[in-house]
Every structure is written in structure tokens, then in C-alpha cells.
Amino acid sequence: MIMHIQFDNTYARELEGTYVPWQPTKVPSPKLLRLNTNLGVQLNLSMEVLNSPMGSAILSGNEIPAGAMPIAQAYAGHQFGNFAPQLGDGRALLLGEVLGEDGRRRDLAFKGSGPTPFSRGGDGKAAVGPVLREYLIGEFMHAMGIPTTRALAAVWTGEPVFRERPLPGAILTRVAASHLRIGTFEFFAAREEPHQVQRLVDYAIRRHDPQLTDHPHQYQEWFRAVADRQASLVARWMLVGFIHGVMNTDNTTISGETIDYGPCAFMEAYDPHAVFSSIDSQGRYAYHNQPHILRWNLARLAEAIAPLMNTVSGKPVVDPLVEVLETFPARYHDYWLTGLRKKLGLSTSEQGDDALAEEWLALLHTQGADYTLAWRYLADAAEGNVRPLQAMFHEPSVLSLWLKRWRMRLDRECPAVHSTESSC
């Protein structure tokens, strides 16, 4: 029973020279650990086949379904600020693209499927712990409505991978709007191949921003669209206390989806300087730095596409790209404040909302309150039950002052229902 998946391989077909055709390494005894039935159905895949031994063979890379064209994509990246000219899929393979029942195109890719020409001495494998972690956190982000790559499946390979100690090996099947990242463009920009950069941008526009195809300033508008999606994404992270941990340019997507759940975490006690990654000793990717790092990463993308801009006296005119970068903080702030207003129960805007939100966050910090629970208990406070929130604060009196101001602000939301105890 060979599974019929309707693959379309636009990346492999249209972007020759940006990848290496490659095959997954066979594994001894694949066993399905977890299958994402909801996602599989959305992608028009047969759950019956994927749940069968043939499904485990496919999801481990032992059987390549007809129509798939496995490739290892080339990309570079700034890692912790330093440029690595060649990263690429060292332990991943793009199997191909599928169209979901919503008509949207998505990549199906393996992570942990064995070494490739981009492995740089690595084993190309993944351990079961990080695979299940990526699966779980991706699903959680999706459930919260935050754009993310998702896992279709996790399989046990039946062989160990060797880290500090032997660990059970696993392969993740990842579903993504695409695997284009800032690093994909940097790879060819660094090799001074603007023609390849242009092919990639044209492809990215067709795939993610087709309305720009005939736009007279399509490259700068595409850059604006990428910046906008990422500004919205990182604002969503900040609102739920998510710290990505490795915001390198190779982990910043063009689609605006969260990718690569490595040493990421959700903050507990609110601390703007929180870092969870042991390799981030300088705090480069600390919680409060994320929007700044995103802008820095976008500046690397601007540099990569600068040669595509119109030229005057032989020099590219980069002002429109600079303008996007200069207005980025305000754009990000808008997304962030809009989200915070919602969390505070406000549906209208007032000048002082910014300060009200900032003061709440400052209180959480000085009082050492848990970020997620504080918001949850604020909802209880809106309904008149202040005790759980008060119990989180060392000094309940400072909370009372802030709550008073918050309630006055809530009252201005719906003056008809005047209440000092509850939100509207």
C-alpha cells in the first residue's frame, strides 16, 4: 500500500542551484510515536495509511512516496551576531509541498533524517526529547493562534543518537508555510550572486505575497510585508512570554511563522532580562531584546536584497528599505500595544494605555509575579475576585493603586454600565 500524496515541488522545480537533491538515511525499525491527525486531515493525507507500518516507513524516510523530491536547502545565517556563510539543511530534508484543504501550500520536511552535504561534521540526527518538545510547543503555539511551523508526526528510528550520552533517535515531520529564511537570501548575497537572490525573492513573492507580483516597487514592498509579519509574530511572542532563545537569521522566516523550537521557553516570573538558553551567555536573545534582534535580523535581509533595488549612478537606492527599518519600532509597538490592550480587557484606545500597561509589567517585575498566572488572575480580578492576584504580590498595596486606575480605565470602556468592580 504505497501512499498517494499529491506533491507539488515548486521549490525544487523553480530554484535549481539553491539546494542539493538528497535522500534520507534509512533507519532500522521506525515506530510511530505521535501522529497529528487534525493536521494530517487538513493536508488531505490519508490517516489510515500514515497510521500503518507503511506510514511509519514514510515518516522515517525509509520509503519515499511517489512524487516527493527530497532536497537539502542551502542557507547561511548570522548566529549570535556572527556570519556563517554556509549552514543549510544539515539534518533536515524538504520532501515537497502539499496543498491543504484550505488551498494553502505547505512544505513537508524531515528533521533528523541523516547527514547531508550541509552537515559540517554533524550526525544529521535528532533525539526523541527535542523532537517531542518541538512537536508539543508548535502545537501549543498553534492552539494560541500564533503563526508557527507544526509537526505532522514524530517517529522513533530504533537506533540511538550520541550526544553527551546515547539517546533514542527520532525524526520529526515538519509542516511549514515555507522554509525560506533570512539566511536563505544571505547565502547567495554573500556569494555575490544577486541573480540567485532575485530568483529567490521572486519565488517568495509568488508564494507568500502574490499580490505584489506586478507591483512597481515589489522588492521594497515585499521587505515591508516580511517585516510586518515578523513584527506581528514577535509581538505575539512577547504577549505570551515566549522566549525563542536562538533568534539567528537562519531561524527567522519569510512567512512570519515561528520556526525551530530549541532552547525556547515560556517565562515564569516576569523578568525582561530572562534567558533560558545555556549557550546565550551574553543575553543576546533575552526576552526584552527580541524585538531589537528582529530589527537587526531584518537589516541583514535588507543588505541581502539591496542589490535588487533601482540604481542611481550605478548605486542601489536603499532609502525605502531604510525607511521600513526606521519605522519598524513603531510598527512593532502598535502590534504589542494592541495585544496588551486586549489582555487588559480594553477594546478602545486611550493615550495613557501605554503607561498603564508598562506600569502593570513593572509591577510584575518588582513583585516577582508569574507572568502567565498574573494575567489569568487579572481576569479573576475583573470579575471581583482579587485574592489570587494579591497573593502573588509581596506588597498588595501597590497592586491596589494600579487596580484602581485600571478599573477607572475599564469604566471608560462602556460608560453605560458603570461599575467599579468588574470589566464591561
Q: How many CB atoms lie within 10 A of CB 16?
A: 11
Stretch that binds ligand AMP, among 84-92, 133-141, 184-192, 280-288 (CB under 6 A): 84-92
Smallest distance from the beta carbon of 11 to ligand AMP, in angstroms? 17
Q: How far apart are CA 185 and CA 188, in angstroms?
A: 6
- Is there binding between residue 160 and ligand AMP (CB under 6 A)? no
Binding mask 256-275 for Mg ion (x = CB under 5 A): ----x---------------
Contact yes or no for 134/171 (Cβ under 8 A): no
Smallest distance from the beta carbon of 144 to Mg ion, in angstroms? 22
- Catalytic residue selected from 107, 209, 250, 280: 250
Number of residues that bind ligand AMP (CB under 6 A): 15
**What are the backbone dihedrals phi and psi of residue 204, each rounded to the nearest 5 degrees, phi first?**
-60, -40
Shortest distance (Å) from residue 12 CB to ligand AMP: 18
C-alpha cell at 355: 503607561
Segment interacting with ligand AMP (CB under 6 A) among 122-130, 207-215, 272-280, 355-363: 122-130
Map 41-57 to HEC letters. HHCCCCHHHHCCHHHHH
Please report whether residue 129 would count as binding ligand AMP according to CB under 6 A.
Answer: no
Our answer to whether residue 250 is catalytic in this structure is: yes
- Shortest distance in whole angstroms from residue 34 CB to ligand AMP: 20
Q: Are 156 and 128 in contact (CB under 8 A)?
A: yes
Cell numbers placing 213: 507580483
In the chain the first and final C-alpha atoms are separated, in Å, by 58
Answer yes or no whether residue 251 interacts with Mg ion by CB under 5 A: yes
Strands 311-312 and 315-316 turn out to be antiparallel
Does residue 88 bind ligand AMP (CB under 6 A)? yes
Q: Which is nearer to ligand AMP, 81 or 368 (CB)?
A: 81
Choose from Mg ion, ligand AMP, none: what does 172 bind? Cβ within 5-8 Å by kind: none
Among positions 67, 90, 194, 396, the unique one binding ligand AMP when judged by CB under 6 A? 90
Q: Does 91 bind ligand AMP (CB under 6 A)?
A: yes
What are the C-alpha distances in Å from 79 to residues 85, 225, 229, 265? Answer: 10, 24, 21, 19
Q: In this complex, which beta carbon is closest to Mg ion, that of residue 92 or of residue 346? A: 92
Task: Give helix 290-305 / helix 319-343 axis angle, nearest 10°.
Answer: 150
The Cα–Cα gap between 67 and 5 comes to 7
123: contact with ligand AMP by CB under 6 A: yes
Active site residue ranges: 250
Residues that bind ligand AMP (CB under 6 A): 87-92, 118-119, 122-125, 251, 260, 262
